[in-house]
Every structure is written in structure tokens, then in C-alpha cells.
Structure 1
């Protein structure tokens, strides 16, 4: 593979070394931010750090009698032990567990309709998520009290956890309405006479922190949904007594509560009852104090962070659902169309047209391919199709051209040029090719004897301008090689069958592709506009009205990168080059005629599934990790296994079509966990490069020459004859 060089290479290398950490830093920061948002969301949804244990009843030996026999307001501030009751004909309606986005507004509407006030004991989780409702409570004259942040039974908690629950709840109130409150209601509390030796020490400690503890003495039991009449009956005090009434504006369907409230309020108002705030009923100072300065800004920052994480994660969940649906649909479409493609091309009477027997020019651009070039050229000489081989040495410094010349193989020529890049090398080869059918391959690839013959048979159809072959990984014995083998068979070749049926093939692989010379001339030859010249030329072929097809039996064995660094370099260039090609050919979206099919079908599919969708694919793994740790573990693992099963079915079918051994699929689960992450980060880095206007240079991959021959290659030495060599004449210049 050719690459560009420059006299300023050292300087550029220095810049690249300085930028190297950004490959990992920026994607890592994005993933960390995503995880932080998920953790914050889990925190305010009581999925993280929540404690749902409930203490059983205990003895009451340590609880003062005056508390057990007293009122529902317990004052233990400053070492006091006192209880207070609401005066006669005063009712304090209290609502727990909110605010709720559906039911709290309806409760507030009913209270406003009947000119009544109430106390809302809010949890910090709900107040953080719906701060506008807390602000409305305060604006409409209601009081707000604390109901802890995560709603745990405080009798299980340490003093530090209790302080944390209170402070976090106050932080949410500060951010939502700019207030602090002195009212507190313990979760799972009941009447004062239900206080026991477990809850009483908590009440004393709460008082030492400056809070009034408010329980109730009239329970509507609306959480049981007993019916509107029963809720009203239970909420109505006897004999004109004052009461603190317990209701709920969150925690489930509260339509019975809202209906009961709309009847309860006017009925008791007619009987002389007043519906006050707690401090109003007790004749005490307001429970609210304004928060200012740093505490206010901390509260605002908290609610903003929660809102941002809620909206962002909600949007991501929707995107994930949409993309998941589309990806599964694509899997189904890929399987159906692959079956149709296999049946079509494998029919006994299937023919593209008259058999193609004419000679073919095979172009091999080579830059420092000394370790691979001999195997490549020898595999071509064994071809069943009459061919000439043109090796274009693109300024190699390792003696690549000399190796080919010393082989002295028949019909093999070497064309030398100064280093100018792979597209220029291919155009030089086209100009020197003798025949009208041109096959292009990489210098690290070997062909089977039948590859060229199978590759050019579709040219029997005069509408076919280019043919994509079946690139296969030759060095699949390593773990990275096995993962790439799965990717090639499933992600590339199965895709190509689908795109062939849709007539919108996105890429002719650089390792094995064939073209009509006339088609190449019409589109201007190989372009240097992008780093993915193979994708670029394929799109240009479509736009010029040519048909591009897939030849499954035209197999080429290529050396895949064997290290993570080499793999990164290759895929980074592919991803960035694909983005460049899509942008270059964006006008295909609005073109009409036969060439418009690619713009209407192919370009949107390529853009979505190759560039956009993979950006959100890491969400699957992030949500998987989150679900395993904090969510419903069994359902999460089951969902992931379901997705993996779908992929396994597609992979197994792809392997069956390509007649590959299924043993390599053993590493599929590990590939999904590890290999895909690298591909995500590569794509993300490509996006960052594109959006920041960076330019990526050709990157030469270090070859080892491990792919020495292709299965089915002829055995025995090839006769050594004098090869044609030299620069050659620029015959039929293209581009």
C-alpha cells in the first residue's frame, strides 16, 4: 500500500506524537461523561445508594410517654422533648413522596381551586428531577418539608448517612426553589404512638439538627386505592378535631386521591374547617428560609446537572431504541437478501453473460512490500485467466521492485515511480495496462488460481462497470486475526451480498476488485481527494450509471493487522476516508435517473450504518454495564444475550455461505466486548478529526509476510523467465 512522504516528516511526526494521547483522551472523556450521567440518573432514580430495608416493630421502652400519647408534631430541638397538636377545625393536608410530574400538578390544581394550602414532604430525588413543581408549591403558598433524598428507613442508617440524606434533600430544594425548610417527615412513619426504640433515637438526632419531625394522626390510606368514598371517610377527623392528614401525590396512580380531594375540601370547608400550612395552623414562623450566595448556586448547579443528565440520557435511550430497532431490521434484511443473493448466483443456469476469457491486467501498487511481494506475484502467475501483472513500485526503499525483477516471471512488469501515493500508483498502472479489464489488488495479498477468472465473469453483463471480490483474512490464527476474520466474513461480505441485491455496493475492496477501463476513464480514474480511494471510486461508478456487483468466489487472502496499533492506524484511515467519500458524493442524494438509486438508497444506508449508528453503539455496552451493576441484572444479561444470539445467527449464516469453519465463532462474545470498543473509539476519533478540520496522512502498515499462499494455489515452482521491467510508456493516461 502506498503512502505519502514529505521532507517535513520529522516535524509532522513530532506533532503526531504530541497528539497521540488525544486518540484515547477525547473518547475516554466522552465515555466517562456518559457514565457520570448514567450514575447521576441512577442516583436520582434511587437505583444507586438506595436502601429499601424496612425495620420491623420494636419495643417502646425508651420513648417518652408524652411522645407516645402526644400530637403528631414532635419537637426535639435544643434538647427539648415536646409534641404539638393542630387546633380544632384546622386540617393540615400533607402529601408524601413527590413531586410527581403527572399527579402533583393535579393536586395543586385542586388545592388552588378551593383556596387551600398543604405541606408537601418531597424526596430529594423527585425534587431534583422536577424542580419546577417545587417552585410552584412555594409560589402558591404551600409549605415544603424534607422526606429524605432516597427514602430509606433511617433507623438502619448511621448519623453520617442521615446527615447526607438531609443535606442532599436541602440541596435539591435550594436548586429548585431557593429555600431551606425546617420540616421533616421520616419515611415509613405513622402515628406518634408508633414511635419505638429504633425510630426514637433518629427523631432525637433529627431535632438536634434543627428540624421539627412531623408524623400524622389521620391516615387516608390512599396508597391502598380503597376508593374515593373510603379515602374521604378515613381522612375526615371526628368531632371537629384538628388533624394532620396523610396523603400521597406520587408513587403510583393517584387519580382516586385527586377525586377525593376535590370533594373532601369543599365539604369540610362548609363544616368550618380551614386548610392551613403547618406553621400557619400552629401559629409559628414560616418553615422556609431563603438561600443565597454559594449555597444557592450549588443548588442551582445540582438541579441543572440532574436536568441535563435526565434529558440527555432520555434522548440517548430513545436513540438507542431506534437504532436497535433499525439494526435488528437490518440484520433481518441482510439475512433475507443474502439468501436471495446466494440462490441467484448459485443456480446452475446462472450466467452474467457470455463467458469472459479475454486477458486481464492485474495492477499491484507496492510501497515497501519486500516481505510480501514475491508471494503476491507468484500467486498471480498461477492464475487460470490469461493475465499480465503490472507491479507499480511507489518509491520503495526496501528493494521491492528488485525482488520482483529478480523473479523473472512471465508476463510480469515493474513500473517505477517516485513516491506519490496509492491513487497515483494505480493511475500509473492503468496508463501502463495493456488490457481493457483491470484488476486491482494490494501488495500484501495473494490470489487463488481461480480468483481473477471469477472476478471478471460479471463483465459479461455490459452494464457492470466494477466488481467487488471476496477479501479474506489469511492470518487468522491470532486472537486479533480471528476477530477480524469474523468481521470480514460477517461485516463485509454478508453486507456486500445485501448491497448487491439493492444495487448500491458501497466499496470495492482494495485487496480484490476489477474495473472496466472505459468506466475508469469516464469517472477520471482513481482520485486523491479522499483516503478511501476504493470507496471513492465505487461511489463515482454508481453516480456514472454503472452497476457494481459482488463475486463471492473471487477470493483474495490478505494480511490483516496483527497489533492493536496497526489495526488502529488502518481503521482510522478507513473511517476517515469513508466520511470524506460520503461528503464528496453527497450530491448523489438529489440526483435523478439510474445513478440516483445509489443516492436514494445506498448513500443513506452507508451514512447511517457505517458512520452515524456506530457512534451510539457503545451505549449498548454502557447500559449493559450499568444494568448489570445497578439495574435488573438478569433482564439486562438476558437482553444482551438476545442481541448476541441474533449476531451469532447472522455470523453463522455468513460463515456457512463462505464455507468457513465455525470454530472461529467461539471468540464472537469476546469480540463483541473488546474488539468493538476499539472500533467505536476509532470512529469517534475520525469524527473528531473531521469536525476539527484535521488532515490524516497515509499510514503504512508494517507487514510480516505471514500470508504466503492461498488455499487451492498450484504447487511447485513457477518457471523463472526474464520479466519485463522499466517505467513503461504512459499509455491511455487516466486522471
Structure 2
């Protein structure tokens, strides 16, 4: 039965923490310092340490922002203006025939007649002009992977009717095809109303494969049918209107077979409502010949002569005439010419300070000559003037339309020129658009080699248009525009090649690579990531000592195109100082992460290169990238290098960043193949024509020695701190996962105690603190119910009040309840039931938050559910509950007496008493059905005050009972639950802000991917536990997701309370 309850009431105003310490206590208050010396001494130590750490950090950071004083030869840093203009009357006669490139020029929907007796002759007699067709086809060739091609398409889509992307390649005579689509185009073209006509070619790499078409043409019918089906399926997937065939270098012997094959192909496509267009090269009987006339890119007489021949006896509407807009840069006497864009032609002319280039008769093609070192170059280019002259002829002959070769290389004024009338009477607005040459953000290239410097200058140019006596449009370039330019150098000799390794060093792979290079007596360049160099300085020194070169690859390997300028400088300076500290040398070589083999197409991509150049670095790119990082296999790595060797002289490999066993396996074979080919493996300095000391200057004893000393010490401390933090995160994550799984298992195996009809007299104790000046109705409380006793005393703390109430209690079981907690009707019987088992000394009830009006209160509700109550449910099985809450619990009075009574040494009297009961070998259980609704703080201020008291009291209890931790006498309590309190409720909560700051700080440095898995794991465990707790307590599972904002907003406040408690202790 229920006997009288006792109320112990403390009357008084609010008081500070240390005033709660009971005066005259027989035992000292935990963490008390009667002499008052501990805190001043600790404060002095912390002040000294803080000032030293702050000044050291400031000095260290300052060294990171001080640019290194490097000296790079001026000839390597300043390439602008090294091109010299040359005057030549007509360069045609000085160009070797081998320098001409094959050219796709002319496309047709159908080829209905053979062309016979065609030759590059002067223009036939002029014929009467025909009006341009009303439905003019405007086709544009598109190059995959060229960002300028796509940007031009986006800007001028409304002026295009058909698009021809280079997508499909016939790779062998079995009919196998390779498809390289640009996945953006189908949707884009559909939205813009553009017909997609992919190009079907037999160009594999840089070599035509005529055998593939010849074998298909005279092969079995089923093979041809399979080939047709593959092409049609590809066209359906791309939502294409048809296909354009560009098959070149076909042997005339197979003319009949190929013609029959094309007829069958045409029928198959038409049956699927697809169109078939053929590219036709002007020449005898459709045989493959070179299109370019020796000298220019198609002079007026050459163009008009062929146009008349093609259209004279055919349906002109069936012909689409391709007009070029690009340029060629011929090295006089060289073996090849470079196809360049109009912008690159302008950039080279500007750099060489060309004067007086013009478009005039008889060829009406502009050109200029310049000198680059000891090499003479001739540049012919096609611009808006050549385009308009040719377009007038095309429209005059009433052709079906024209095709532009190609998007991305064209003179931008072409799009304004489409509305120019045939008589060239140009309106002023259009004339301005045609004459002013805008210096845009188009990035151009000058020179040869993969080591670059940057010039971001931009300036407009000018050309003057006129119509000559023959009625053709002419122009004179009075000023060439200036574009952002990459100046290339380091091409080296024809048989010189450099090998470079990125992302190292790595203790597993770098030594193996160094051994292979040493055996082959080959020198390479290693572009180091600072964080790896910091970990393995011995490997860095070995690289340098064995004669190799090292370069800067940033500290954290971020994408610098997405970084801000200060971040870029910090990455470079930090790595440079680290290299100087380790090797005693600086390095002038820099390679940007993620962009070594990428042609910059946006100004944001030039920004880090410009900053590096301002810091005296040479930017090292490369054109031979076997993508060994993707682990394609040693054979593929070697094969790709063989295919790409002619494209450049710098090979990119990786010695870190993952499993590099394939790179190690391929390296000896790469070296052997290069030697067999006749190549010499040289350092980057040799490609530049300078010495190793020039690109890796030894440091001199200067005032920077102090900076190196500071940076060296700073990097060592930083490395130790970083290693500690990473180790802590790994250990913490593992412990969080292990604890989560264990708590889930224990909570799942929790079994309710068997029901017992046990009754006994109890005493209910409640400590009520008057937080206001008056409690209404205090007088006369005892007169209302004789079972209630009201004990008044001055405020000397909750523990003293409870101690007095316990002394007055008359019954063997004490029920503790807080003044702001309300029991349900069955709570007291449920708390009482377990005491039928004499081995049970204490029972913990189920505290739930009753006031859910604010976000703070709702966060506490979830914390009670998935923290306190779930833990007690799990800990019951192993008898390791750490807190029997004073808000709702029942304890045998005899057990309290044997445990030494209610202690006055801590603020967490319930935790202190619980641990004392464990020392007395009492069994403590949890009854989740015994529910008490408590009132939680509703504001941050009151919650912080409460949690500070809890945190400080918990620290006191942990310190007071520290002998129980890792003590086999207390089994799970000593080895599991108490260490869990130390780690998960004190240490982990305290360092949570550090982890959060680490994540935030890692974002701009590109290291977020390393931190993110730990954060996701932490949050995932929280969500899992919250979900389980909601299921067990039959609450909506959706409440579990509240744990995420709670961790981000609620946890920092708890961390503050923990730190405050630690400092107060």
C-alpha cells in the first residue's frame, strides 16, 4: 500500500554553482579547491600555451602566404613577342606537298552521277545567277570534346538547320563500329528543331581504314545486314534524322562493290525513314584526292571552278556545299601542317606583329608569314570575307544549301554575314559587326610543346571591308585582335621524350618505380602532392638524390579551377616550402591537378595557371595520357602510349593515389618500347633546353632560412596533429559503429521482467526548489493531507534537501520524483513490481518529455528516447545502468544506507548514488512501462544551464568512481558503460565541433571526400539508433530524422557545456 509521502522543500533565491556546495560537509566536494590555487595556475599555463600557439600559428601561416623567391630564365617565362613577322610575296611555292592535309569539303544528299574529267582549274565562264532556295540547308560540322564547338552551337542554334557530329566510326571489315556520342546533343537538337545527322567515317585515330569499307562492300550479305542494323539502332538511340558517310582512300578497284553496298545501305535507311548523305571530294570519278590546292585553303578560282563543274549537269538542290572557316599553320619544309582556328590565326598574327594582311585577288585568301626561332611558318586562313564570296557563288548557283566546317574554329562574324545581300551592300550595323574583331575569352595556343606560359590579355582588332572592281568582297587587317593565349615550349627533339609521375610519393609504389628507372638509367619528373610528401620525406629525398626532378602538384590535390586565388597561392606556397624544407631545393615546375591533359577552355581554368606563372612557375601539361589511374591493364597502358606518342613528348603516369601495380608492370615495357623506337628519355629541363639546377635551384643561405625553419617545424606539428585527428576519427567511427551494433543487439534482447503481485509501503521523496519569490499555497499544505510532510530549509542544494527527506522516510522503498514530473496512474505499481525479486536494489523508470512546444524541447524528447531510455533498455541485461534518474526511480532504503547514503560530493547525486549501489553489488533494472512525464527546458539558456549542471556532475561522478573503470570486479559496468560515458558523452561531444570544423575546412581544399565518409557514418549510426528507439517506444519513425538537424544545431550547445564543465572542474 502507499504510505505517507515526504516533501523536502528548499526555500531561497537562485544561487551560483559553488554556492551549492554544502558548507561544513564531512567529505570534500569533488574538484573543490579550498586554497583557490588550481584555477589561477591552470589559467596561467593555458595563457602561455595559447599565446605561444597563436604566435606560432600566425608565423607559420605567414610563411605560407609569402611567395617563394625563385629565378627562372626570362626566355622560359616570357614567350610573348618571340614570333617575328616575315614578308613573303607568295608562300605557295615554298610549301612541300607533304604538308597538305586531307580535307572534308562538300556533302551531298545523293550522288546521282559520276563526275568525270574534273580538275582544279580556273573558274569556268560565269553563268547567270540563280536565286537562293527558300529552304536553304545550313549544316554545321561538330567536333566531340571541343568545348568551343558546343558553345558555338549554343549561341547560333537558331541559324542552323542540320548538325553533323563526328560520332560513328567503322573500325574493321567485320562491320564493328565505335560510337562516341555527345549525350547533350539529341535533346538539344530536338528542342531547337535541328536535324541530327551523325558522321559515319572510317577514320580510326589519325589513320583512314579503307580496308574496313572494302571488306564490308564485298563481304557476305548477312554481315552487311548486321552492319546496317547497328547503324540504324544507333541513329534511333540518338533520335537522328539520318547519317552522313565520309569514307576516304577507298581503292578504285572496289568502286563497283562500294557503290552497290551504298545502294543497299540507302535502301535500309530509307525503310526506317532515315536519310543518307554522302560527302564527295572533287576529283576524277569520285576517287579520293586531296582537296586543298597547293598554297591556300581553296582560292576563288579553284572554288568557283569546281562549283560550276559539280552543279552544271546535276540537280543543284541535291548539293550541299561545305564552306570552311579555319586555318593552316605550315612549318616551311616540315612534314605536317597544323589545323588552327580563326582565333588562333589572329593570335599568331598579333603576336608576330603582322602588318598589312589582306583578302584580295587573285586568290582572295588571307595569309601571313612569321618566324618562330629558326622555323618559318606560313598561315593561310578562311574568314568571313572568303565565306561571303563563296556563299554568294553557292546561292547564285541555287545549291541546296551550305555546310560550315566547323563549329568552334569559325570566324564569329560568319553568323552576322548570313543576312548580307549578294551585291555586298552591307548595312552599317552589320558592317560594324563584320569589321570589328572582338578580343573574346576564346583561349588560343601559340608554339609547340607541353610546357606553357599564360597571357590573359584581350584587345579588339579591326579590318576594313571593300568591294573590288570584279565585284568580290575584300578586306585589309589593320589591327589583329588579342586573345588569352597559352604559349607552348618544350617540344624538344623529335626523339626526346620525358616521363612524369603524379600524386606521389607513395611508400608502396614510388620505390618500385625508382628501382625500375635506376635499372634503365632513366630520369623522370615527379609531381608531388604536399600531404604525401609531408608523410614520406625520405622518399622525396631519394627522388632528388637519384637525379630525378620534382614538381609542385599542390598540397591537397584540389581542382584549382574551382578554388579562389588565395587558396591557389596557399596550395602552391605550402607545397613549395615543404619541398624546400625536405630537399634544400626549390622547384619551378608545376602541374595542375585534374587538368594536365586538358586544353583550357574557360578563363577560370586559366586563373590557377596565371597565378602559378606569377609565382615564377612553369606550367607542365602533357599530351600522352594512357589513363593508368583507371587501371586498364599494363597492355592497354602501353598500347595507348604507342598511339599517342606522336602527339607529344611528355608522358603522364601515376605513382600514388590508388593501386598502381599496373603502372609498375607497364613501366619496363614502356621504357623498352621507347628505346626500340629510337627515343631518348630526358628530364623536363632538357626539353626546355636548360639545366636541372635552373628548374630546381638549390637554396641559398638567405633571410628565408628562418621561414624554412618555421615552416619545417610547423609542417611537423601540423602533420602530427593531422595524424592524430585522422586516427581519432577512425577509432571514433569504429567505436560508434561497434557500440551502435551492440546497443541494438542488447536492446533487441531486452525482456520485460515477469509480472509480480508485489506491494509494500513506500516513501515518495520530492525536492522542490522555489525559483520564484513565492509558491502559492505553501502555508497550510500539511493541513490538506496528513500523509504529506513539508520540510523547509535554506537553499543548500538538492542533495542536502534529499538527504534530509531520506532521514525522515519511514518505509523500505524510496520513490524519487522531481517536482516537474508527472506519473501516470500505473507508474507507481509498475516501479514497485520488480522489488519482488530480493536481488534487485533499484528500478529506473521511463522518463519522457511532456512539453513539446519548442524545437529545443522536441530535440530533448528525441534525446530521451534514443539516448537515455534506449541505453537503459540495453544496459539492463548486463546490469550496467549508470544513472537511476532522480525524476522517476525507486530504490531500497537499505541499499541506499549500505551504499553510504546520498552523497553531498557531487551535483549529480542520482549518478553518484547509482554507481555506489553498483559497488555494493546491487542489481539495477529498467521498467519502460513505468512512465513519468517531465518538463524539459524550452529555451537554449535554461537548457544550457541544466546541461552544464549535468555535465559537471557527471564529470564529478566519473572522477570520484574512477577506480571502477576497466575493473574486472564491475564487469560490463567497468568495461563498457562507464568507458562509454567517458568517450561518447564527454570526449566525443567535446570534440564534435572540431570534427565539424575539419569537415568545413576540408571543403575548399578538396579533401572533403576523405572526411565525408566519417561524417556520414556518424550520422547514419545516429539515425539507426533513433529509428530503433522510435520503433521500440511505438513513436512515429519519421521523428527519427529529427536527429539530423538536432546534431547540427543541438550538439554544439552540448559541446559548449562540456567544455565549460571541464574548465570549471
TM-score category (smaller protein):
0.5 to 0.7
In the other structure, the counterpart of 2:651 is: 246
Check the 8 A contact 1:122/1:144 in 2, yes or no: yes
Aligned counterparts of 1:168 and 1:590: Cα–Cα separation in 2: 44
Counterparts of 1:691-702 in structure 2, within 5 Å, are 694-695=1064-1065
Greater alpha carbon shift after TM alignment, 572-581 vs 600-609: 600-609
In the other structure, the counterpart of 2:738 is: 326
The structural deviation recorded for 1:318 is 1.0
Find out whether 1:300 has 2:675 as its counterpart.
no
Counterparts of 1:516-535 in structure 2, within 5 Å, are 516-535=892-911
In the other structure, the counterpart of 1:722 is: none
In the other structure, the counterpart of 1:351 is: 755
> Once the two structures are superposed, what CA deviation does each residue of 1:427-486 show, in whole Å capped at 9, x if it has no partner?
222222222222222333344454433322322221222222233333333333333233
In the other structure, the counterpart of 2:258 is: none
Aligned counterparts of 1:611 and 1:681: Cα–Cα separation in 2: 11
Find out whether 1:135 has 2:513 as its counterpart.
no
In the other structure, the counterpart of 2:748 is: 336
Greater alpha carbon shift after TM alignment, 62-71 vs 195-204: 195-204
The structural deviation recorded for 1:201 is 12
In the other structure, the counterpart of 2:957 is: 581
> Once the two structures are superposed, what CA deviation does each residue of 1:183-215 show, in whole Å capped at 9, x if it has no partner?
456775679xx9999999999998787556666
The structural deviation recorded for 1:167 is 5.1
In the other structure, the counterpart of 1:49 is: none
The structural deviation recorded for 1:245 is 4.8
Counterparts of 1:597-612 in structure 2, within 5 Å, are 598-612=973-987
In the other structure, the counterpart of 2:920 is: 544
The structural deviation recorded for 1:645 is 4.7
Find out whether 1:289 has 2:697 as its counterpart.
yes
In the other structure, the counterpart of 1:496 is: 872
Check the 8 A contact 2:832/2:890 in 1, yes or no: yes
> Once the two structures are superposed, what CA deviation does each residue of 1:73-120 show, in whole Å capped at 9, x if it has no partner?
879899xx9966657987644334544454323212222344443233
The structural deviation recorded for 1:407 is 4.7
> Once the two structures are superposed, what CA deviation does each residue of 1:329-360 show, in whole Å capped at 9, x if it has no partner?
145225403xx33xx34xxxx334x521x332
In the other structure, the counterpart of 2:813 is: 437
As a proportion of its length, which structure holds more helix? 1
Q: Secondary structure at the match of 1:477?
A: coil
Larger radius of gyration: 2
> Once the two structures are superposed, what CA deviation does each residue of 1:104-147 show, in whole Å capped at 9, x if it has no partner?
23212222344443233445676566555433322332222345
Aligned counterparts of 1:558 and 1:153: Cα–Cα separation in 2: 52
The structural deviation recorded for 1:540 is 1.1
In the other structure, the counterpart of 1:66 is: 372
Q: Secondary structure at the match of 2:843?
A: strand
TM-score, length-normalised on structure 2?
Answer: 0.48
Aligned counterparts of 2:543 and 2:454: Cα–Cα separation in 1: 26
Runs (5+) with no aligned partner, structure 2:
1-8, 21-31, 65-144, 150-339, 349-369, 378-446, 456-486
In the other structure, the counterpart of 1:364 is: 766
Check the 8 A contact 1:320/1:620 in 2, yes or no: no
The structural deviation recorded for 1:524 is 1.3
In the other structure, the counterpart of 1:477 is: 853
Aligned counterparts of 2:837 and 2:963: Cα–Cα separation in 1: 28
Check the 8 A contact 2:1030/2:1036 in 1, yes or no: no
Aligned match for 1:655, one of 1015, 1026, 1033? 1033
Check the 8 A contact 1:123/1:149 in 2, yes or no: yes
Q: Secondary structure at the match of 1:181?
A: coil
As a proportion of its length, which structure holds more strand? 2
The structural deviation recorded for 1:562 is 2.6
Check the 8 A contact 1:176/1:299 in 2, yes or no: no
Q: Secondary structure at the match of 2:586?
A: strand
Check the 8 A contact 1:175/1:301 in 2, yes or no: no
TM-score, length-normalised on structure 1?
Answer: 0.67
Aligned counterparts of 1:121 and 1:455: Cα–Cα separation in 2: 70
Find out whether 1:510 has 2:905 as its counterpart.
no
In the other structure, the counterpart of 2:328 is: none
Aligned counterparts of 2:496 and 2:995: Cα–Cα separation in 1: 55
The structural deviation recorded for 1:406 is 5.9
Greater alpha carbon shift after TM alignment, 135-144 vs 182-191: 182-191
Aligned counterparts of 2:555 and 2:995: Cα–Cα separation in 1: 29
In the other structure, the counterpart of 2:1051 is: 676
Q: Per the alignment, do residues 311 and 414 of structure 1 end up closer, same or farther by CA in structure 2, a change over 3 Å counting?
A: same
How many pairs were matched up?
616
Aligned counterparts of 1:488 and 1:618: Cα–Cα separation in 2: 22
Check the 8 A contact 2:883/2:910 in 1, yes or no: yes
> Once the two structures are superposed, what CA deviation does each residue of 1:193-242 show, in whole Å capped at 9, x if it has no partner?
x99999999999987875566667977776686765676688799xxx9x
Q: Per the alignment, do residues 54 and 168 of structure 1 end up closer, same or farther by CA in structure 2, a change over 3 Å counting?
A: farther
Find out whether 1:423 has 2:799 as its counterpart.
yes
Q: Per the alignment, do residues 246 and 196 of structure 1 end up closer, same or farther by CA in structure 2, a change over 3 Å counting?
A: same
* Aligned-CA RMSD value: 5.5
